Structure formats: structure tokens, C-alpha cells
């Protein structure tokens, strides 16, 4: 830190990182430039010209997105459980990941890490391990519920079909949070899931399906198969790809059932919706 004549503590910015227009007289303090945020912007030329005169003009401001087009993407997002093998272009994937990192984050720590998996051997290893774990769970359940019978077999068949479908995508993203970062407890509850949501909306904008998977592909499977260090805690894993077919639209509650104004007094809880994936 550097203190001005007035006693204000200022952050120090490496001189090597400063714009060329910074006067040589500022190269004191061991190669660091004392600066406030405003002065740093001034040095970078960000408060000169049009910006110094006032806010951006309509001609120079970036165009606003079309609200209707943006909101339509939210309405079209659905969980996809089976995919075509069509590859996801690098540029599409990059833009999807770039959108994911734009979410709100505690103290701007941006603690997420997106692990991208395309290697077919790794995908096959995750599939084999997940199906094996699924089989074990059903065996254990059957041993504890002798009268389950045909109903259990039907559930097992459906779960196996879903699991096999999850592993038909060409690319997977494991959304992780660094548990050793500042605000990590908050990030695990909030920052990480928000980033995953952004990712899925961005993927839908490109015409791809996703699925927010937790127990569908267990945490221990991804951690062991992909050798994920303990400090990185998983939020979810999602496939990304062209759907084999888009699912039929699912029932959504009416907005009026979910919104209250000023008070919840007199608002009855909603009844459960029958689940039929």
C-alpha cells in the first residue's frame, strides 16, 4: 500500500501493467504506481473523451438484447435424457461456458471450475460405474423389500434406461466450486447452482439439451473416474448435446400459484404435482 500526503491508503498497481500513458514520475515505489480506482481509470483513458463528458450516448452504447427472444429460451429449456452423437463445436461450447461464468458471485470470488469431458473412454468408464452402482442399489432395496415384485422391476428398467441415455451425449461439464476459496460455504449453496443454471440456458440458446444431474451420475463416480481433487466440490454434472428428441412440454404451475404480493397471509401451499418423467 502507499499513502498519499492526505494519508489515504491506496492500492499499488505494478508499473509493468500500467498503460503507456502513465507519466514516468509515477514509477516510484519499487516499480508500483499509487492509484485510486478513479485514477487508474484515468490512466487507462477511461474517463477521457466521451466518457469524461458524461454517460455513453445511445449511438455508442451496446445494443440491448431482445427481451422476447431471451425469455423464450427460458421457456424452452427442458431436461433431456437422451442425445444424438452430433459434436458440439468448440466455439459453441466456449460461449456456453463464458455465459456460465457471468453469474452473481459472493465477493466476486468466482470460485467455480468447469471440468469439460469429451474423452469417450472416460464417458464409458463413468457409465459403467454408474450402472454398476445402480444395480447394487436395486439389489439392496429388493433384499429389504421382499414384496416389491414387478413394481421394483419396472422402476429398475426405467432408471437403467435414463442412466444409459444420460451417457449418449458428446460432451459433459462437471460444475465445481473451490471449497477453499473465500465465501466457499455461500458459493456451494448459491454461486455454483446459479452458474449451472446460466450454463443450461446458454446451451438451450444454441439448441442443445442439458440435464442437472446429481444422483443420476453420483458424485463419487465423477470424483473417482475423473480424479477430481477433494478441494473441488461438485454442484452437478450435465450432458450437453443435440437431443435425440425434445421431450414433451411438462406441466408448469400458473404464475398466480407461485407469486404473492406484500404478504403470504391467506396463501395456501401448493399441492404436489404427480411426477411422470
Question: Confidence class of residue 244 from pLDDT cuts 50, 70 and 90?
Answer: very high
pLDDT tens for 123-173 read 999 999 999 999 999 999 888 887 777 788 888 999 999 999 999 999 999
Q: Residue by residue, what is the 3-state secondary structure of the chain?
A: CEECCCCCEECEEEHHHCCCCCCHHHCCCCCEEECCHHHHHHHCCCCCHHHHHCCCCCCCCCCCCCHHHHHHHHHHCCECCCECCCCCCHHHHHHHHHHHCCCCCHHHCCCEEEEEECCHHHHHHHHHHHHHHHHHHHHHHHHHCCCCHHHHHHHHHHHHHHHHHHCCCCEEEEEEEECCCCCHHHHHHHHHHHHHHHHHHHHHHCCCEECCECCCCCHHHHHHHCCCCCCEEEEEEEEEECECCCCCCCCCCCHHHHCCCCCCCCCCCCCCCCCCC
The pLDDT > 70 percentage for the chain reads 78
Q: What is the pLDDT of residue 13?
A: 41
Question: Confidence class of residue 222 from pLDDT cuts 50, 70 and 90?
Answer: very high
pLDDT tens for 181-201 read 998 898 899 999 999 999 999
Between 37-51, 57-71, 82-96, 166-180, the lowest mean confidence (pLDDT) is in 37-51
Q: What is the pLDDT of residue 103?
A: 94
d(CA 197, CA 246): 19
Q: What is the pLDDT of residue 276?
A: 73
Mean pLDDT of 56-60: 52
Q: What is the pLDDT of residue 148?
A: 75
Domains of the chain in start order, with CATH, are 2-53 (no CATH), 69-246 (3.40.109.10)
Query: Which of 18-27, 38-47, 83-92 is modeled with the greatest confidence?
Result: 83-92
Q: What is the pLDDT of residue 275?
A: 79
Amino acid at each position: 500500500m502507499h499513502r498519499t500526503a492526505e494519508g489515504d491508503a491506496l492500492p499499488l498497481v505494478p508499473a509493468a501493467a500500467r498503460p503507456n500513458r502513465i507519466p514516468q514520475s509515477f514509477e516510484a515505489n519499487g516499480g508500483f504506481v499509487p492509484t485510486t480506482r478513479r485514477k487508474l481509470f484515468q490512466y487507462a483513458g477511461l474517463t477521457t473523451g466521451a466518457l469524461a463528458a458524461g454517460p455513453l450516448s445511445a449511438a455508442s452504447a451496446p445494443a440491448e438484447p431482445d427481451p422476447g427472444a431471451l425469455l423464450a429460451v427460458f421457456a424452452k429449456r427442458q431436461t433431456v435424457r437422451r442425445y444424438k452423437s452430433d459434436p458440439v463445436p468448440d466455439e459453441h461450447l466456449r460461449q456456453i461456458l463464458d455465459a456460465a461464468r457471468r453469474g452473481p458471485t459472493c465477493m466476486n470470488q468466482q470460485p467455480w471450475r468447469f471440468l469439460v469431458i469429451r474423452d469417450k473412454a472416460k464417458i464409458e468408464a463413468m457409465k459403467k460405474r454408474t450402472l454398476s452402482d445402480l444395480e447394487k442399489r436395486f439389489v439392496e432395496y429388493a433384499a429389504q423389500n421382499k414384496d416389491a415384485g414387478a413394481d421394483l422391476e419396472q422402476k429398475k428398467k426405467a432408471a437403467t434406461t435414463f442412466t444409459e441415455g444420460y451417457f449418449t451425449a458428446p460432451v459433459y461439464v462437471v460444475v465445481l466450486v473451490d471449497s477453499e476459496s473465500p465465501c466457499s460455504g455461500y458459493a456451494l449453496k448459491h454461486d455454483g447452482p446459479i452458474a449451472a443454471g446460466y450454463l443450461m440456458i446458454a446451451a438451450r440458446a444454441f439448441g442443445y439439451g442439458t440435464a442437472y444431474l446429481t444422483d443420476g451420475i453420483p458424485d463419487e463416480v465423477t470424483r473417482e473416474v475423473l480424479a477430481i481433487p477433494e478441494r473441488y466440490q461438485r454442484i452437478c454434472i450435465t450432458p450437453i448435446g443435440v437431443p435425440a428428441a425434445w421431450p414433451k412440454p411438462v406441466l408448469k404451475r400458473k404464475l398466480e400459484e407461485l407469486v404473492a404480493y406484500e404478504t403470504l397471509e391467506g396463501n395456501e401451499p401448493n399441492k404436489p404435482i404427480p411426477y411422470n418423467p
